[in-house]
Chains A and B, each alone.
Chain A
Amino acid sequence: MTAPDLGDPPPDLGDPAPSRQRVVWRPDQVLVQHDIPGLSDLRDDTPGGRLLLRSFMRAQLGLSLMCLTFALTVTASFPVIAAMVPAVSRITVAGVPLTLIVLGFAFYPVFLAVGWFYNRHARQLEVRFTSLVDPVSRRPDA
């Protein structure tokens, strides 16, 4: 971070006595950047823009559902397996029942791994979409 130029308005550091102002939340207002030409299609909800947004949403949802299916399969298959093969719930590992290991400890690393994988790929999808809409700009954070 560099120091702000003198011409910039002073950053809002929380006025000691802010005057009351009324802010109305309008959920269909989208704060878009007007210097990105590729955004106009999205903004105006043209057929092309709608298709673009829809394909992006579909990719995001596909990623989410894939991760969800994986996590659900890993966890929710355990009761079925234990019901079909009762011997599974009699296994002990070093004196500790397998059921305790699975239910008490083993699922949490799976959840963390799935969440980490999802965050990584969701971010990549967003970066790809951003560069599709706005190919000119070289964003430092993209």
Chain B
Amino acid sequence: MPDAAVGAIAFVTLLTIMVGARGIRVARTPDDFMVAARQVQPALNAAAISGEYLSAASFLGIAGLVVAQGLGALWYSVGYTAGYLVLLLLVAAPLRRFGAYTIPDFAVGRLGSRGLRQTATALVLVIGWFYLLPQMKGAGITLQWVLGTPYWVGAATLGVVVSCNIAMGGMKGITFVQCFQYWLKLCAIGIPALVLLIAAGHHPSPNLTPDRAAVFTRATVVDLPQATGFTLTRPAQATVTGLLDQRTYRNQAVLLCACRHDAGAGTRIGFAAGAPVPVSLAMAPSSSESWDSPFLTSTTSGAHPLAATYGVIIATFFGAIGLPHILVRFYTNPDGEAARRTTLIVVLLLSSFYLFPTVLAVLARAQAPQLYLSSDSDSVVLALPTVLLPGLPGELLAALVAAGAFAAFLSTSSGLLVSVAGAMSHDFLKRGVTTFRWCAITAGAIATIAALLIERFSLTLLVGWAFAIAASSFCPLMVLGIWWRRLTRIGAMAGIVIGGGSCLAAIVSTMLGVAASGWGAVLTGQPAIWTVPLAFGVMIVVSLLTQRAVPANVGQVMLRMHLPEALSRQAYRPAGQASWHAPDRRAPGPGPGLAGPGHP
């Protein structure tokens, strides 16, 4: 079975490496090396942005989480799309006109402070690494599923491939490749979803009826590779091979009571059609909510589902603005108007993509609800084709899904690693291509090692946390920096440090399991609900208290961000009709008296 999938993964990986090798010849200047050439058509650019954005969480994580925990997990896909709408409404055009490459560049260009630049760079590293971890985990479980290799093999493979590729070729050279990655991912999830949907036919499934526990739609043998605890909602007749409730069975019929059971590793339990699906104790949907509840309950052990849902909504809606690897791609737009059109097309492309994980998740719930029992919920999408469509067609679809998943890990982690390595080499070490290469390898190695520690967290959860940190640090910086003249470097610094820091602390405490229930679990598991308002509030209040530090050139900077291209013609106009205008440098110097609020 794995041959087709292995071939497909190897093909996608080799393709990426070859393009990276080609990038060496294409890249000529450091500028080319760091950011692909500018002035790309909106449709192409939008596909490239989407290609880089759709990561392991979108490809595998959301569908898995929906199967395991319910429809509330769809808030992630809604939020990942809405993030681009918010980006369009608040920052797209002004940011493009400003012309900075990275968030630290934006911070220092708008507010002029080296300390702020280094804080922003440190945060780019934190967000980048947080976002890299789930990609590594995705690779680990994908190879685990395809080849049966241990988890670390897949994570290490992705780390090595991506780091070396970046170190050799820069940002995978070309917009076109990332555009191709989008269409590859769309096909790799869309074709299996549609084929399986047609194959499933139109049978109303009892598993989609609200407030009903899942039942097996056909006779099914559940393999439990690891020791698993589960409960049954009703008594059920089953055929058991292996260890169950401290007794060893050899293909014997057993009546399982509606209570808790413990199965040993390697146990196989056969259920008849119509039997209730066991509810895994490890991955149970929260006790109080049914599968079709619109609330999101993961990480918070079911406590306060409404607050947890709003935590995810805030994090994902406002997090996209602050993602370091997405912003870099934004500067390939020729002007602000094109940036807006590009972003709208991104919303369209993401909306189209996210229809398919939903379809797959619903199919899995309706036809094979036991899938999450026998493996990590993140591999549901990988396992589904062969379960629903036995034989060669299912294997080919599974190979397609595996290849698409690997494309997702490769493209997203490449973009992230470029941002992380760029930030490390550019702001902390000495500049230059050689340093950049070593930084790429170092950053990839750190991410790979860290990925070994986070196997038990869901992909979607990890990516959601990266969004939460971005939303409570860089989002206020960008939004206030673009729209509010009175923002000061001290206010920005305070907001980033307090907002981002408290969000990070909350997440780390959740990972360590400090608060496992009640409000503590909600507020640390989905911290965006309080850290985003906190970051905005701190930034505004501290800025108002330090108005003497408003940069002297704020008027010119605002003009640059907001003046329409018809008046400024930043591009395309022959020299002579337009010229650079700079104010005399009454720069924010050491003397605070000079740098009064605006111009006198």
Contact = CB atoms under 8 A, between A and B. Distances in A.
Contacts, number: 208
B591 interface: no
Contacts of B347: 111-112, 115
A134 B567 contact: yes
A57 B581 contact: no
Contacts of B85: 71, 111, 114-115
Interface stretch (B160-168, B229-237, B554-562): B554-562
A104 B74 contact: yes
Interface stretch (B2-10, B138-146, B202-210, B439-447): B202-210
A103 B354 contact: no
A19 to B, nearest CB: 10
Interface in A92-129: 92, 95-97, 99-100, 102-105, 107-109, 111-112, 114-116, 118-119, 122-123, 126-127, 129
25 contacts: A9-B574, A18-B28, A25-B100, A26-B582, A27-B557, A28-B556, A29-B556, A29-B560, A31-B578, A32-B579, A33-B573, A39-B567, A45-B555, A45-B599, A60-B562, A76-B313, A79-B294, A92-B210, A107-B78, A108-B351, A111-B85, A118-B340, A122-B93, A126-B337, A141-B566
A141 B86 CA distance: 27
B96 interface: no
B566 A43 contact: no
A118 B84 CA distance: 13
Can you list the 7 inter-chain pairs with the closest CB atoms, starting with the nearest?
A: A27-B109, A108-B351, A45-B555, A103-B74, A126-B564, A28-B556, A28-B553
Nearest to B337: A123
A39 B89 CA distance: 26
A112 B351 contact: yes
Contacts of A29: 556, 560, 580-582
Given A29-B560, A53-B558, A56-B562, A111 B580 contact: no
Nearest to A71: B85
A34 B577 CA distance: 7
Contacts of B74: 100, 103-104
Contact of B562 (A8, A20, A57, A105): A57
A130 B341 CA distance: 20
Interface string A17-52: 010100101111111111110010011010000100
A112 B559 contact: no
Contacts of A43: 559, 581
Residue from A35, A72, A80, A134 with most neighbouring chain B CB atoms (10 Å): A72
B218 interface: no
A102 B294 contact: yes
Contacts of A83: 295, 306
A64 B564 CA distance: 16
Residue from B341, B558, B559 with most neighbouring chain A CB atoms (10 Å): B559
B566 A126 contact: yes
Contacts of B75: 103
B99 A25 contact: yes
A108 B93 CA distance: 22
B210 A133 contact: no
A103 B294 contact: yes
B458 interface: no
Contacts of B583: 28, 45
Nearest to B559: A30
Contacts of B100: 25, 27
Interface of B: 28-29, 31, 71-72, 74-75, 78, 81-82, 85-86, 88-90, 93, 98-100, 105, 109-110, 204, 208-211, 292-295, 306, 309-310, 313, 317, 337, 340-341, 343-344, 347-348, 351, 354-355, 358, 362, 483, 553, 555-560, 562-564, 566-570, 573-574, 577-583, 598-599
Contacts of B556: 28-30, 45
Nearest to B357: A104
Contacts of A141: 566
B314 to A, nearest CB: 9
Nearest to B571: A31
B582 A130 contact: no
Nearest to B564: A126
Contacts of B599: 45
Nearest to B552: A28
Contacts of B78: 75, 103, 107
Contacts of A45: 555-556, 559, 583, 598-599
Nearest to A107: B78
Residue from A29, A79, A92 with most neighbouring chain B CB atoms (10 Å): A79
A28 to B, nearest CB: 4
A50 to B, nearest CB: 6
Contact of B89 (A97, A118, A126): A118
Residue from A71, A122, A139 with most neighbouring chain B CB atoms (10 Å): A122
Nearest to A9: B574
Given A75-B78, A89-B293, A115 B562 contact: no
A80 B204 contact: no
Given A27-B109, A112-B348, A115-B343, A133 B82 contact: no
A118 B343 CA distance: 12
Interface in A52-68: 53, 56-57, 60-61, 64, 67-68
Nearest to A111: B85
A139 B569 CA distance: 13
A33 B557 contact: no
A56 B580 CA distance: 22
Nearest to B292: A97
Contact of B355 (A71, A104, A114, A129): A104
Contacts of B557: 27-28
Contact of A130 (B28, B566, B579, B581): B566
Contacts of B559: 30, 42-43, 45, 53
Nearest to B90: A64
A100 B204 contact: no
